[in-house]
Structure formats: structure tokens, C-alpha cells
């Protein structure tokens, strides 16, 4: 799409040219070519739920859309009722109290807030600590802010949690902000409250903030309930947590999420946002309230489907000789490339020979090399078909 060098690139601002290159150009081209030839391509590359939004949420949207009071500009800080619903949800789910007036800001999808946060907090040259591999917007936002990115490798032997003791003194001293994300995309790893505590202790000692992306906090299996970083005592003195309705309620296209936690940090992000957006369309906010109030019932069925798919994919890959650990949470199976190929070479070959798309780990950062990510967001029968095809080509 946009980021290859071309005629228009000389017109672009330098800061845009600093953004990392889009690594999947070749893979995308190969995919489009196959589809153009009429081939049946199964896409396990994207993390976009295929299950529809629950009908109760849609009904609430329809009702709200008929009310002219909802047609005007909404405010950046969102409906009071939405912030209150978020606070109630947080209290129920995590036993964490939030002040709806100062400690919550709704977002046009959490990606928006995660991408903007560095602009609100970091000066040029400040260090931003970012996991590698990671969800790309953390890096893009820090890059646009002119910050200095220090990567925190997520290694399998550490359960894909950063080795905080291995960070250099210089990095932690100059750090303004650290991003964390559990349940993790792309690794599917989860973190304990003790690990969060370790991060909060370090942040307190060196005076930096933490942004924890909890987009998958509700997508967990076998009765496991991922913790909130804000459950760490005193985390609210320096941390924000980002949530999204996208993955929890199959609402990726709706664009609604939020950040919550430290009031000064929320204030900074809100201030920036008042200059850039005018809030979420109010009917979507009302639908979001519906989702939060009826969360557990709406979620149960969705989780059953993902659980069934996880079992099928993990068992299928294991039978094919892959070494796979079933993820406790998230929509992804993260696994070592089962051959000697690079992740990109392997993904390209799988696409050509099996017409199955998997995401090469290197696309999420250099430490993702050697791994691929497979997503659970295709219908179960298609997943079964993908497994059968993968077994044939290996």
C-alpha cells in the first residue's frame, strides 16, 4: 500500500519515512495473485474475529441511532454513562476502583490511544521501552514522537515476559514509558500479577510510566482469568491500562475501547485527543455500555468457539510434528517454524504450496524470527481444512 518508496515519497514528512517498512509486501502480493487465479486461500494471518457482534449490542445501536440527540459531536471524554459502565465493569472483573471523572478515557479503538500515547508523554530522545515482538502501533507511536525505542526481547525461556533485570541502566534511567501487553499478541503468553509487580517496582524506582495493553484480557481458556496490571498495589500512581471491546465482543469494526488508570496520564492523553478527534459516535457508546453490562453472558459462546478451534489447531499441528503449546489466552497460536527456514521463507512456501496464510514472526520484531503466528479467527471447518493442507506440505 503506502509505504514503499515511489513517486510520492518525496512529498512525505521525514517522520513518516521513519516508520518501519511494511514487511509483508511480497506476501500480500503473492496472496492477491493466488486469489486472482481463483485459488481457495485460507487466511490464518489476521486477528479479526469472524463471529458477528452479539445481537443485543446491535439492537442497542439501532435504537440509539434513531435518537437525534445522538447525532451531534460527542465529546472526547465520552458519555458519563459509558465511563460509569467501564468503572462498574472494572470493579466487578478486577476489584479495582476507578473514578469515572478522571481515571477513564474512551478511545476510538484502543489502537488509537496506544498509538497516540507516546505523543502525549514522550519528548524527542526520551526512551520508550517496547516489547519485541509486539503489536506494531507501540513502535509507530513512539517513532512519530521522536522517542528512542529500546526493545525488550520476549524470549521463550522467560515465558515471553521481558527480562527486566537485563535492561541497561541507561535505558531505565532515560525511560519515560514502558509498553506491556498480556495476554500477549503475538505470542499468546500470559503474565502473573507478580510479574506485573516487578514492572511496577522498576517503574517506581526509575520514574517512568507503564502502558499495559489488555486487549485480550477476556479471551482466555480453561477458566483462566488474566489479571489487570492495576491490581498491583499502587500501580495507579504510574500506569495506564488499555482495553478494547473489539476482541471481547467481536466489535473490531466499531472502534471503541478505553484507557484507564493514573489521572495525570489520562489527562495528558485526553488533552492530546481533544486536538485530534471529537469522540466516539454516541450510538456506539450506548452499544458499548450494553456490551459491558451483559459481558459474561455475551462472552460465553464466543469463548466456547475459540476453545474448540484452539483444541483442533493445536492437536492438528502436533500430529503434523509441530511443537505447540496450547495458549492460555488470546486468539493466537505462536509456534516455532517446524523447518530450518526463516519465518518469512516458511510462510511464503506455505502460502504457495498449501494456500494457507500464516504471519511470519519477524513481522512483529526481530525477536519474532523463528516463529509463526496462526490465528483462530476462521470458521472451525476452514481451520480443519488448513490443518489438513499443512500436514500435507510438511
Rule CB under 6 A: say whether 244 interacts with ligand PLP.
Answer: yes
For the chain, the residue count is: 394
Rule CB under 6 A: say whether 103 interacts with ligand PLP.
Answer: no
Of 49 and 316, which CB lies nearer to ligand PLP in the complex structure?
49
Of 298 and 387, which CB lies nearer to ligand PLP in the complex structure?
298
- Which value, in Å, is the radius of gyration of the alpha carbons in the chain? 21
Rule CB under 6 A: say whether 109 interacts with ligand PLP.
Answer: yes
Of 135 and 174, which CB lies nearer to ligand PLP in the complex structure?
135
CA-CA distances (angstroms) from residue 264 to 34, 105, 298?
50, 12, 33
> Which class for 66: exposed (0-12), middle (13-18), buried (19 or more C-beta within 10 A)?
exposed
The β-bridge partners of 106 are: 258
Of 260 and 354, which CB lies nearer to ligand PLP in the complex structure?
260
Stretch of 241-249, 291-299, 333-341, 357-365 lying at the interface with ligand PLP (CB under 6 A): 241-249
Rule CB under 6 A: say whether 257 interacts with ligand PLP.
Answer: yes
Of 181 and 209, which CB lies nearer to ligand PLP in the complex structure?
181
Residues 6+ apart with CB under 8 A from 29: none
Cβ at position 112, least distance to ligand PLP in Å: 6
Nearest of 146, 151, 113 to residue 129 by alpha carbon: 151
Which member of 89, 135, 346, 371 binds ligand PLP (CB under 6 A)? 135
Residues 326-365 as x/- pattern, contact with ligand PLP by CB under 6 A: ----------------------------------------
Cis check: omega of the bond before 182, within 30 degrees of 0:
no
Rule CB under 6 A: say whether 215 interacts with ligand PLP.
Answer: yes
Cβ at position 7, least distance to ligand PLP in Å: 31
Cβ at position 352, least distance to ligand PLP in Å: 27
Which member of 53, 110, 209, 248 binds ligand PLP (CB under 6 A)? 110
Of 89 and 172, which CB lies nearer to ligand PLP in the complex structure?
89
Which member of 53, 76, 118, 185 binds ligand PLP (CB under 6 A)? 185
CA-CA distances (angstroms) from residue 294 to 90, 202, 290, 297, 299?
13, 37, 6, 6, 9
Cα gap 38→180, rounded to integer Å: 41
Of 103 and 213, which CB lies nearer to ligand PLP in the complex structure?
213
Which member of 209, 246, 282, 375 binds ligand PLP (CB under 6 A)? 246
Q: Tell me, by CB under 6 A, how many residues bind ligand PLP.
A: 14
| Number of Cβ within a 10 Å radius of residue 81 | 13
Of 309 and 355, which CB lies nearer to ligand PLP in the complex structure?
309
> Which class for 4: exposed (0-12), middle (13-18), buried (19 or more C-beta within 10 A)?
exposed
Cβ at position 110, least distance to ligand PLP in Å: 4
Of 57 and 390, which CB lies nearer to ligand PLP in the complex structure?
57
Please give the grid coordinates belonging to residue 156: 521463550
Beta strand spans in 140-254 (E): 148-153, 175-181, 209-213, 239-244
Stretch of 103-111, 145-153, 280-288, 348-356 lying at the interface with ligand PLP (CB under 6 A): 103-111
Of 215 and 374, which CB lies nearer to ligand PLP in the complex structure?
215
Of 246 and 335, which CB lies nearer to ligand PLP in the complex structure?
246
Rule CB under 6 A: say whether 213 interacts with ligand PLP.
Answer: yes
Please give the grid coordinates belonging to residue 280: 466516539
Return the DSSP state at 341.
S
Cβ at position 190, least distance to ligand PLP in Å: 13
Cβ at position 372, least distance to ligand PLP in Å: 16
Cα gap 272→116, rounded to integer Å: 8
Cis check: omega of the bond before 186, within 30 degrees of 0:
yes
The answer to whether residues 4 and 25 touch, using CB atoms and an 8 Å cutoff, is yes
| Number of Cβ within a 10 Å radius of residue 73 | 9
Residues 6+ apart with CB under 8 A from 40: 355
Please give the grid coordinates belonging to residue 344: 518469512
Count of helix runs (H) and strand runs (E) in the chain: 13, 12
Rule CB under 6 A: say whether 49 interacts with ligand PLP.
Answer: no
Q: Which residues bind ligand PLP (CB under 6 A)?
A: 47, 109-111, 135, 181, 185, 213, 215, 244, 246-247, 252, 257
Amino acid at each position: 500500500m503506502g509505504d514503499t518508496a515511489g513517486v510520492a515519497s518525496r512529498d512525505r514528512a521525514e517522520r513518516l519515512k521513519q516508520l518501519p517498512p511494511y514487511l509483508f509486501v511480497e506476501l500480500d502480493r503473492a496472496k492477491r495473485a493466488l486469489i486472482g487465479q481463483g485459488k481457495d486461500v485460507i487466511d490464518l494471518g489476521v486477528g479479526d474475529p469472524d463471529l458477528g457482534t452479539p445481537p443485543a449490542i446491535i439492537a442497542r445501536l439501532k435504537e440509539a441511532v434513531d435518537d437525534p440527540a445522538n447525532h451531534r459531536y460527542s465529546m472526547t471524554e465520552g458519555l458519563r454513562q459509558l465511563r460509569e459502565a467501564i468503572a462498574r465493569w472494572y470493579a466487578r472483573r478486577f476489584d479495582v476502583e476507578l473514578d469515572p471523572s478522571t481515571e477513564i478515557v474512551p478511545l476510538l479503538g484502543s489502537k488509537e490511544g496506544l498509538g497516540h500515547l507516546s505523543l502525549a508523554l514522550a519528548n524527542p530522545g526520551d526512551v520508550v521501552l517496547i516489547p519485541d515482538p509486539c503489536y506494531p502501533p507501540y513502535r509507530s507511536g513512539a517513532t512519530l514522537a521522536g522517542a528512542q525505542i529500546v526493545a525488550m526481547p520476549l524470549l521463550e525461556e522467560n515465558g515471553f515476559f521481558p527480562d527486566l533485570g537485563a535492561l541497561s541502566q541507561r535505558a531505565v534511567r532515560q525511560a519515560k514509558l514502558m509498553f506491556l501487553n498480556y495476554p500477549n499478541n503475538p505470542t499468546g503468553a500470559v503474565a502473573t500479577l507478580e510479574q506485573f509487580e516487578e514492572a511496577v517496582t522498576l517503574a517506581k524506582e526509575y520514574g517512568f510510566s507503564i502502558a499495559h495493553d489488555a486487549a485480550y484480557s477476556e479471551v482466555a481458556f480453561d477458566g483462566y482469568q488474566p489479571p489487570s496490571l492495576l491490581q498491583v498495589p499502587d500501580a495507579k500512581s504510574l500506569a495506564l491500562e488499555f482495553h478494547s471491546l473489539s476482541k471481547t465482543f467481536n466489535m473490531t469494526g466499531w472502534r471503541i475501547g478505553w484507557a484507564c488508570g493514573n489521572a495525570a496520564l489520562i489527562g495528558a492523553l485526553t488533552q492530546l485527543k481533544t486536538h485530534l478527534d471529537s469522540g466516539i459516535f454516541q450510538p456506539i457508546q450506548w452499544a458499548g455500555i450494553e456490551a459491558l453490562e451483559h459481558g459474561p453472558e455475551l462472552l460465553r459462546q464466543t469463548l466456547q468457539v475459540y476453545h474448540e478451534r484452539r483444541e483442533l489447531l493445536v492437536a492438528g499441528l502436533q500430529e503434523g510434528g509441530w511443537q505447540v503449546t496450547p495458549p492460555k489466552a488470546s486468539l493466537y497460536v505462536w509456534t516455532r517454524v517446524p523447518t530450518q527456514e526463516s519465518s518469512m521463507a516458511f510462510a511464503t512456501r506455505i502460502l504457495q504450496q498449501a494456500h494457507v496464510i500464516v504471519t511470519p514472526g519477524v513481522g512483529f520484531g526481530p525477536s519474532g524470527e523463528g516463529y509463526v503466528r496462526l490465528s483462530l479467527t476462521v470458521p472451525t471447518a476452514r481451520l480443519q481444512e488448513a490443518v489438513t493442507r499443512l500436514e500435507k506440505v510438511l
